[in-house]
Structure 1
Amino acid sequence: MSEDPEPAENISGGAAGGGYADTFDADAPATRAEAVVDRLGELYWQKSYGGRDAFECLVRTILSQNTSDVASQPAHDSLMDRYSSRGDLANALAEADQTEVAETISSAGLYNQKSERIVDIAGRIREEYGGEAGFDEFVREEDPTVVRNALLEMTGVGPKTADCVLLFAGGRQGVFPVDTHVHRIARRIGLAPADADHEGVRAHLERDVPGEKCGFGHTAMIQFGREHCSARKPDCLDDPEACPMADLCDQVGVEPSTGEVVDPSEVETAD
């Protein structure tokens, strides 16, 4: 195994993502959710996060919305190449031509909408925090609830984006961002109610997973979703033993005997 097995093409960026390898006790998990996260840590990686530039992290997460990391990473890299050399990144993007920004991030999808959001948020950060340094200090040092609420007031910033900034830039423990993979897997395994929305899943995971394990729990669960527990064809359909989480999973919405796979919420409704 490499020193940092987390893929670089990821929202957290592997070795470049501001995290570092860490170890956590996995001897006696207090909840099933903690047992799942411990297993994910054994399967993929155990890391602590924090240290990324807050504004860049915010921009990176906006670029990842509704698109893959494979598509959004080149957009991020192109944006940094064009604007990071102009001094304060927030100030540079606040003054940038929106059409030029859209062209720069065109690989990310929804680039017109995302460029408007990035330029608008950059202007707000320049006005309210004086630029990226002031915003970075705010994210790292202010009360997490205050930071989260401030982020959610920004155009185009939802709970997952806000939580990624708190985790990857702020290094805040106890934050478990919920993306599409985490939302599906937590309900499929049975760690949250089948009909829970993203915020409901987040509440259950942050309640049942120790704060220091939430960061790698989030990133490793995404990797598990990509490799083993996809939306349409989880490994357990063909072979229950092929899934490293088989003994901990309720298989909500998955019926290997028939090959049927539905969203967990549909099972709840059917009952």
Structure 2
Amino acid sequence: MNTVKTINEVRNQVKVWKKEGYSIALVPTMGSLHAGHASLISRAAKENEKVVVSIFVNPIQFGPSEDLDSYPRDLNKDEIVCEGAGADLIFAPKATEMYYKDIEASVSVKELAAGLCGAKRPNHFAGVCTVVSKLFNIIPADKAYFGQKDAQQLAIIKRMVRDLNFDIEIIGCPIIREKDGLAKSSRNVYLSPEERQAALILNKSLTKCREALSNGERSTNLLKEIIKAQIQTETLARIDYIEIVDALSLDAIDFANKPILVAIAIYIGKTRLIDNFIYEA
């Protein structure tokens, strides 16, 4: 496995693989890799002959008060995770390699980005769509793999690929959790031991909602109140949002009589964590 840092290097290698007839997968990441990322890479390796992992902390998807400077970075550790999971090549460019100083073009998916995390993080998904579009152009893979934990991002990427006719298949992969239920996240490293314990409230609150759905509750307002009540039992937790939306359109709905996405964002101390599940009505 090799690590390259320029667009020309990764393009040249992928061209060789294409000429030799290999199927190619792309796993876009921002590094600080954990078992969730490893699961994406492993699946990509099982389903394709060559796997490229991009590691790039994308500056244009961070807001002015967000954690760009402090976002965890450890390329050496990431290389070990990638090699162990079956990657063939890492593309780890600097921001100056990915963006011209006078860049003007960008890509956005407006309606799907309007709610959930998009309502709280203006321009975030335009930054995501722009960098992912660039990666798709730089690395013409057959498939790209994304985690379901970022459910809105996954929906937006799928719509962008459809609307702009990218010749790539988007594969969504299940959330990977710790043994105690906390969703794997690069931001979990920010949590103190006390906050780490408090963060379990995300999965606990979603479990309460899932139980209510299984028992026949369909009012989304009541389901959101169930989640809210559970979260409020944890003093270190502060709600950013609780939403229940159509799983495909991400539109708000009053009754869960179709496939739904139940999504939450919670601050534990200063750390913002997200979690979700999809329920097939």
Question: TM-score, normalised to structure 2's length?
Answer: 0.26
The structure showing larger relative contact order (alpha-carbon pairs under 8 Å, at least 6 residues apart) is 1
Greater helix proportion: 1
